[in-house]
Amino acid sequence: MRSSRASHGNELSKRDIVVIGASAGGVQALMEIVAGFPFNLAAAVFVVIHTSPTSPGVLPQILSRAGPVKAVQARNGEQIQLGRIYVAPVDHHLLIRDGHVAVSRGPKENGFRPAVDPLFRTAAVAYRERVVGVILSGGLDDGTSGLHEVKRYGGIAIVQDPAEAVSPSMPQSAVQNVDVDHVVTLAQIPGLIAQLAGRRAGKGTRIMPPRRRNLPDIAEVGSENLEAPDPAEPPTALTCPECGGALWEVQKERVLRFRCHLGHGYTGESLSEQQVKNIENAMWMAMRTLEESAALRRRLAERTRGSGMTLLASGYEEQAQAALDRAALIRAVLMEDKPARAVKSLRPSPKARERAGDKPHTRPNANPARVKAAKRSPVDGDGNGRTRLKSSQNKGARRS
């Protein structure tokens, strides 16, 4: 079957642009989803998964072997074809334009490149209500802001049930902060995507002029806060962990977000994570500097004592010992091996889960038998409604 190109189209186009974001545990989840796709999937699928800059970049081959839809590494300027999976290249952001793909080595977002937010954000701007956003297993909260943009422009938001995710933080954050349409198991996602791809999208909730759709994204050009006479966002006392520049707070979203003028972006959670890493690096650097200072002062003490300057040599030795004492304190903190304090895992509030169409049997403490039964049951709801996971108990109640 010849794949057709995805142009911007009219207001009654189908939901044929699918964007998927994942991190830890995401490769296996993607393989399960791709295995469930029909061979004639009427949508273009775009995938971002957090990877190391030195990764061999074999995800397209893995996904192509896992299912019937061909997966390729996205190329800058490539025209979008339906019935194809586009994977972000290693150490590059994957962005979507009106009719084609863009690949950029722009500033990292949430500490990652590729990052999920730029993909979702640009897809929402270019294709509005035709977009289906999917958040899978992963740490922290990359993708939450982007999924919010998908919803803001009229798209559909799907989230893997946090209860079954290898790393539940990303899906939990999405459920808590976005008006999610479907919270479902991995087994249900392929069918749901195929179902949505075959339906009309209707009008989007926010219309974007064509000129605005083709403007460069901040992941390509950075922001203009440094030159703007009156920046829209207030500056903060915080600095960017990547470049050391000032951070501006982005106030137009539910999630706390920051950006520097170079374009590095962070949620509050990812900024905190980067700061923790920087603190440890700074402590190791301080310990190294103190030990080097002690070694230098001991050499000075030896030379001055050999010249008969005993008093000066004693001063150098005292300074060396003081530096070693300080280094020992830092080493003790770094090497401390006491058990970490137990922290209750972050879970969606009951209202957030109900708003997303979740039911009690899908929650983390659910009975395994009920969850297994739910995985076998079909998805209930239309393309624009809330998905409900049916339990065998509910079916029995209806029969009676």
Predicted confidence (pLDDT) at residue 383 exceeds the cutoff of 50: no
Question: Given this model, what pLDDT does residue 276 score?
Answer: 86
Q: Is the bond leading into 114 cis (omega within 30 degrees of zero)? A: yes
- Mean pLDDT of the region 252-265: 81
- 237-249, pLDDT tens digit by residue? 898 988 888 888 8
* Alpha-carbon radius of gyration of the chain: 26
Res. 382 pLDDT band, cuts 50 70 90: very low
The token duo for 128 is 């509005």
Amino acid 235: pLDDT: 79
Is residue 264 part of the annotated active site? The answer reads no
What is 17-213's CATH topology?
Rossmann fold (3.40.50)
Name residue, tokens 């520097």. 260
Q: Is position 50 annotated as part of the catalytic site?
A: yes
The model carries a pTM of: 0.73
Token pair in block for residue 315: 């001063």
- Domain positions in the chain: 17-213
Residue tagged active-site, from 50, 92, 261, 361: 50
**Confidence class for position 234, pLDDT limits 50, 70, 90:** low
CA distance 271 to 258: 8
pLDDT digits (tens, 9 = 90+) for 104-144: 999 999 999 999 999 999 999 999 999 999 999 999 899 99
Burial of 159 (0-12, 13-18, 19+ CB in 10 A): buried
Residue 32 has pLDDT above 50, yes or no: yes
Model confidence at 215: pLDDT above 90: no
Question: What is the reported pLDDT for 257?
Answer: 84
Handedness of CA 323, 329, 332, 333 (dihedral sign): negative
In this predicted structure, the answer to whether residue 84 has a pLDDT above a threshold of 60 is yes
Catalytic residue among 23, 169, 173, 270: 23
- Alpha helices in 153-267, H assignment, sequence order: 169-177, 189-197, 210-213, 218-221
* Phi, psi for 182 (deg, rounded to 5): -140, 125
Q: How far apart are CA 159 and CA 145, in angstroms?
A: 13
Whole-Å CA distances, 132 to 49, 159, 348? 17, 11, 22
173 part of the active site: no
Which two tokens mark 66? 């896992």
Tell me what pLDDT residue 249 has.
Answer: 85
- Residue of 142, 181, 217, 358 marked catalytic: 142
When pLDDT is averaged across residues 182-211 and rounded to a whole number, the result is 79
pLDDT for the residue numbered 359: 47
